[in-house]
């Protein structure tokens, strides 16, 4: 693989993707998924990675030295990634063990939920090595069972169909119990969102627990109640959950019971958050703390503008429901919306509702979702704790 003139910069700075347009020449006849070397025009080695002629990202870099990509290589990457998470197991038994590019294994996500692993394959280069990688995970991490959750549309960009199913050991139970700080949750590895749970919000849920004492809390886009349960454990006076899926709401209700919070004053509204927040405003309801954790509004660069309008709108609706001095815990998980753009949407929202507001904390995805310094694309979740007057 010979890099085109003037296109070696990102690789030299260790960015792990080589786009189609950056390749001047393909030497030999590499098959999809094969290990290839990327060289400059003089033939100097730049990087080694796996190849996919059907993807715009033709090569994903595995190493910037000419090392063998064999079983030991993958095992070492797994060990290094898992080692970096070891401290987290004091807090939780649900942890992202492998975060794709940022852990040197582009295209692979591996999450541990108690005794089970749930993983996602996003690229062809990983797909062709799946059996080896599953075997290594089984040996290194000793799970009771391993489940694949590659049922995601982005695989089409690599020429892959969605796939899911049980691949090793025991079948996961339909409700796998995990702990997160003082909280317990049930996770459905087979059909829960992502690989089962929003592990990326762990630190922010724990933060909510710290600041919820005595507060009336509104948990919007609540999924199975992660934020609201932590608010309850932190001594919230009440929690109102808003979520469009009635099934997720039922799980949220069960989670309160599971956490000994059946006495908590709680409400559950199944519906569209935008409409429901408007209705609460018309009913003159007020809260001390509003959590907004919407789904991804922008899937690509073209959708960023619409997404920003969405973020502004939902934050207007959230801010209007806050008492003076109340707190807004607000997030965006759209990778294409930068922290800066998201903040601009929040500034516009505050200005529209004529409320003064200040940032108390800037928030990000949890530390088991690291972001490679040379891979800014890995940063997708950002949020703010804002006090609104
Ligand atoms: N806060 C949750 C994760 C939220 S994910 C946690 O910590 O676990 C976003 C959730 O918003 C999903 O559960 C999805 O079903 C829900 N959702 C998506 N669009 C919605 C809408 N318009 N109104 C209400 N809920 C919505």
Domain match, 22 and 147 both: no
**Mean predicted confidence (pLDDT) in 92-119:** 98
Tell which residue, 288, 352, 344, has the closest CA to residue 317: 352
Asked if residues 330 and 383 have their Cβ atoms less than 8 Å apart, the reply is yes
* Cβ of 225 less than 6 Å from ligand 1: no
The answer to whether residue 380 is domain-embedded is yes
Asked if residues 151 and 227 have their Cβ atoms less than 8 Å apart, the reply is no
Residue 98: partners with Cβ closer than 8 Å, 6 or more residues away: 77, 78, 81, 82, 105, 108, 109, 110, 119
pTM of the model: 0.96
Tell which residue, 112, 206, 122, has the closest CA to residue 158: 122
Q: Output the domain CATH number for residue 111.
A: 3.30.750.80
* Cβ of 219 less than 6 Å from ligand 1: no
Domain match, 357 and 232 both: yes
Please spell the DSSP secondary structure of 304-350, one letter per residue.
HHHHHHHHHHHHHHHHHTEEEEEEEEEEE--TTS-HHHHHHHHHHHH
Q: Output the domain CATH number for residue 23.
A: 2.30.130.10
Domain match, 118 and 45 both: no
DSSP state of 144: S
The per-residue pLDDT for range 114-154, each reduced to its tens digit, is 999 999 999 999 999 999 999 999 999 999 999 999 999 99
* Cβ of 272 less than 6 Å from ligand 1: yes
* Predicted pLDDT of residue 205: 98
The answer to whether residue 185 is domain-embedded is no
CA of 15 to the centre of ligand 1 (A): 32
Q: Output the domain CATH number for residue 315.
A: 3.40.50.150
Domain match, 110 and 159 both: yes
Final residue belonging to a domain, choices 63, 98, 115: 63
Judged on CB neighbours under 10 Å (0-12, 13-18, 19+), 299 is: middle
Which one is catalytic: 94, 269, 333, 341? 333
Asked if residues 352 and 316 have their Cβ atoms less than 8 Å apart, the reply is yes
The answer to whether residue 187 is domain-embedded is no
Final residue belonging to a domain, choices 141, 176, 211: 176
Domain match, 350 and 276 both: yes
Which range of residues forms the domain containing residue 27? Answer: 2-63
> Residues 7, 11, 13, 16: is their CA dihedral positive or negative?
positive
Domain match, 232 and 299 both: yes
**Mean predicted confidence (pLDDT) in 153-159:** 94
Known active-site residue 333: yes
Q: Where are the alpha helices (DSSP H) in the chain?
A: 9-12, 71-84, 124-127, 130-141, 202-211, 226-233, 246-258, 273-282, 304-320, 339-352
Domain match, 254 and 356 both: yes
Instruction: Determine how many CB atoms are found less than 10 A away from the CB of residue 162.
Output: 12
The answer to whether residue 182 is domain-embedded is no
> Quick one: angle between helices 304-320 and 339-352, nearest 10?
40
Distance CA 381, CA 364 (A): 5
Nearest residue by C-alpha to atom 12 in ligand 1: 223
Confidence category of residue 284, pLDDT binned at 50, 70, 90: very high
DSSP state of 127: H
Residue 314: partners with Cβ closer than 8 Å, 6 or more residues away: 220, 273, 274, 277, 292, 294
Average pLDDT, the chain: 97
* Predicted pLDDT of residue 201: 98
Q: Which of 187, 192, 244 to mutate to test the pocket of ligand 1 (most atoms within 8 A of CB)?
A: 244
Which residue(s) pair with 322 in the sheet? 287
* Predicted pLDDT of residue 41: 94
Distance CA 293, CA 316 (A): 14
Q: Which of 199, 233, 243 to mutate to test the pocket of ligand 1 (most atoms within 8 A of CB)?
A: 243
Quick one: which atom of ligand 1 is closest to the CA of 242?
A: 24
Please spell the DSSP secondary structure of 208-273, one letter per residue.
HHHH-TT-EEEEES-TTTHHHHHHHHTT-SEEEEEES-HHHHHHHHHHHHHTT-TTSEEEEEES-H
* Cβ of 241 less than 6 Å from ligand 1: no
CA of 202 to the centre of ligand 1 (A): 16
CA of 281 to the centre of ligand 1 (A): 20
Domain match, 238 and 379 both: yes
Domain match, 148 and 56 both: no
CA of 371 to the centre of ligand 1 (A): 24
Domain match, 154 and 220 both: no
The per-residue pLDDT for range 304-316, each reduced to its tens digit, is 999 999 999 999 9
**Domain tally, the chain:** 3
Tell which residue, 75, 73, 52, has the closest CA to residue 62: 73
* Cβ of 221 less than 6 Å from ligand 1: yes
The per-residue pLDDT for range 259-277, each reduced to its tens digit, is 999 999 999 999 999 999 9
* Cβ of 383 less than 6 Å from ligand 1: no
User: Structure tokens of 174?
Assistant: 């339909």
Quick one: which atom of ligand 1 is closest to the CA of 291?
A: 1
* Cβ of 244 less than 6 Å from ligand 1: yes
CA of 378 to the centre of ligand 1 (A): 21
């Amino acid at each position: 693989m010979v890099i085109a003139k003037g296109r070696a910069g990102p690789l030299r700075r260790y960015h792990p993707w080589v786009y189609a347009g950056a390749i001047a020449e393909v030497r030999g006849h590499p098959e999809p998924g094969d290990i290839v070397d990327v060289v400059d025009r003089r033939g100097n080695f730049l990087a080694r990675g796996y190849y996919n002629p059907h993807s715009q990202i033709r090569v994903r870099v595995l190493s910037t030295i000419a090392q063998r990509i064999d079983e030991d290589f993958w095992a070492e990457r797994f060990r290094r990634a898992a080692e970096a998470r070891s401290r987290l197991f004091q807090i939780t038994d649900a942890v992202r063990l492998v975060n794709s590019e940022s852990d040197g294994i582009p295209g692979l996500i591996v999450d541990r939920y108690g005794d089970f692993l749930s993983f996602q394959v996003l690229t062809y280069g990983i797909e062709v090595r799946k059996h080896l990688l599953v075997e290594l995970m089984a040996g290194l991490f000793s799970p009771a069972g391993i489940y694949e959750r590659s049922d995601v549309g982005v695989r089409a960009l690599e020429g892959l169909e969605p796939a899911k199913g049980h691949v090793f050991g025991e079948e996961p139970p339909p409700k796998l119990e995990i702990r997160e700080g003082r909280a317990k949750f049930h996770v459905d590895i087979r059909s829960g969102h992502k690989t089962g749970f929003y592990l990326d919000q762990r630190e922010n849920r724990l933060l909510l627990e710290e600041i919820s004492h005595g507060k009336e809390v509104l948990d919007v886009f609540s999924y199975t109640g992660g934020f609201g349960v932590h608010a309850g454990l932190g001594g919230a006076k009440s929690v109102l959950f808003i979520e469009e899926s009635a099934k997720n709401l039922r799980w949220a209700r069960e989670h309160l019971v599971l956490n000994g919070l059946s006495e908590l004053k709680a409400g559950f509204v199944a519906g569209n958050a935008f409409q429901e927040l408007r209705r609460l405003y018309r009913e003159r309801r007020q809260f001390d703390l509003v959590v907004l954790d919407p789904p991804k509004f922008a899937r690509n660069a073209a959708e960023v503008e619409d997404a920003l309008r969405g973020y502004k709108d939902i934050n207007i609706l959230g801010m209007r429901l806050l008492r003076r001095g109340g707190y807004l815990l607000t997030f965006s998980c759209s990778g294409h919306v930068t922290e800066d753009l998201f903040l601009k949407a929040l500034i516009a929202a505050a200005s529209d509702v004529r409320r003064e507001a200040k940032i108390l904390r800037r928030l990000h995805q949890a530390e088991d979702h690291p972001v490679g310094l040379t891979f800014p694309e890995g940063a997708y979740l950002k949020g703010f704790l804002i006090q609104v007057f």
